[in-house]
Homo-oligomer: A and B are copies of this chain.
Amino acid sequence: MTRTVLESKSKTVVIGFDEPFCVIGERINPTGRKKLAAELEAGEFGTVEKDALEQVACGAMVLDINAGVVYNSNPNPNETEPPLMTRMVELVQGLVDVPLCIDSSVPGALKAGLETAQGRPLLNSVTGEEERLELVLPLVKKYNVPVVAISNDDTGISEDPDVRFAVAKKIVERAADFGIPAHDIVVDPLVMPVGAMATAGQQVFALVRKLREELGVNTTCGASNISFGLPNRHGINAAFLPMAIGAGMTSAIMNPVRKVEMEAINAANFLMNHDPNGGSWIRFAKVLEAVEGGQSFPEAAAAHASSGRAGGRRGGRARRAG
């Protein structure tokens, strides 16, 4: 059984075929968030703190950290992003004890994040592009961390799922050349918007099954892409996630501060027999009751978080080699 092991200072999270779905909180990312970008350039971290606490309270088991701000004062991210990544990683791991996902297109920022993160973070990401493979895989090997592998290459993103599978296969094989095992590759098969491509859902479900059966890898995705441009997006997301989980998807990079999507994931965990005795479901139902009673979802979730959460298992951390 494929198991991708992530660690924070004292907590282990396993992404795996026999584990609850791993929710990777996507909020700490200035891309498309002008206000957050401005705050970060000004050295203000209030939003980052709030996003860290809220996401974990709502059920994020891992937090993505992206420091991709283009400073007005200095347009060279190779200079500005690494120290910002260091600062953000230090801040977040001082606040919450969950593994991190170090997310950048800037090599220096990936390295800074890897140097600063405690435990065993997830690296985000490598693609099938030659330059990226040669840049990221040595870091993955050196720091002995798992990595998200996105199924596009130098030709771009293919609409043909067979091509996207072939790209994933190439990355897994190239990683093996570096001595990186398949269980440390978490493939993102790329989710297209179903409003633009009618087969988008079916493509993902078939790809996830194939990636699992033929390459033995865990999978992830940017889940909300599926509903891009459509009305009532949460309704599409909340059906997509259980269907993807049923097909074998084991994680998603998503906004966990969303009741509807988190309810769907909690129910799907139960239906996959990844919630023994329904303990997590019953706790989540209490959160929903509190929301009915007028509390916000993060407030209600935080109030019930002390009683434990799916997948948030504690355990001794094995020291990371490298």
- Determine which of B201, B247, B271 lies in contact with A201 in the assembled complex, contact meaning CB atoms within 8 Å: B271
CA of A267 to CA of B235 in the docked complex: distance in angstroms? Answer: 7
Copies of this protein in the assembly total 2
Q: Please name all residues of chain B whose beta carbon is closer than 8 Å to the beta carbon of A226 when the two chains form the complex.
A: 271
Given A270-B201, A271-B201, A238:B240 Cβ within 8 A: no
Q: Please name all residues of chain B whose beta carbon is closer than 8 Å to the beta carbon of A289 when the two chains form the complex.
A: 231
A176 at the B interface (CB under 8 A): no
Instruction: Fill in one digit per residue for A264-301: 1 if any B CB lies within 8 Å of its CB, else 0.
Output: 10111011110011100110111011000000000000
A135 at the B interface (CB under 8 A): no
A199 at the B interface (CB under 8 A): yes
A236-B201 in contact (CB<8A): no
CA of A235 to CA of B200 in the docked complex: distance in angstroms? Answer: 25
A232-B271 in contact (CB<8A): no
Within 8 A of B (CB), among A246-275: 246-247, 263-264, 266-268, 270-273
A198-B239 in contact (CB<8A): no
Q: Please name all residues of chain B whose beta carbon is closer than 8 Å to the beta carbon of A198 when the two chains form the complex.
A: 273, 276-277
- The A contact surface, by secondary structure, is helix
A289 CB, min distance to chain B CBs, angstroms: 8
A242 at the B interface (CB under 8 A): yes
A243-B240 in contact (CB<8A): no
- Determine which of B195, B232, B235, B271 lies in contact with A243 in the assembled complex, contact meaning CB atoms within 8 Å: B271
- Determine which of B199, B232, B239, B273 lies in contact with A268 in the assembled complex, contact meaning CB atoms within 8 Å: B239
Q: Please name all residues of chain B whose beta carbon is closer than 8 Å to the beta carbon of A202 when the two chains form the complex.
A: 271-273
Within 8 A of B (CB), among A202-240: 202, 205, 226, 230-232, 235-236, 238-240
A23 at the B interface (CB under 8 A): no
CA of A266 to CA of B231 in the docked complex: distance in angstroms? Answer: 13
A62 at the B interface (CB under 8 A): no
CA of A245 to CA of B285 in the docked complex: distance in angstroms? Answer: 24
A288 CB, min distance to chain B CBs, angstroms: 6
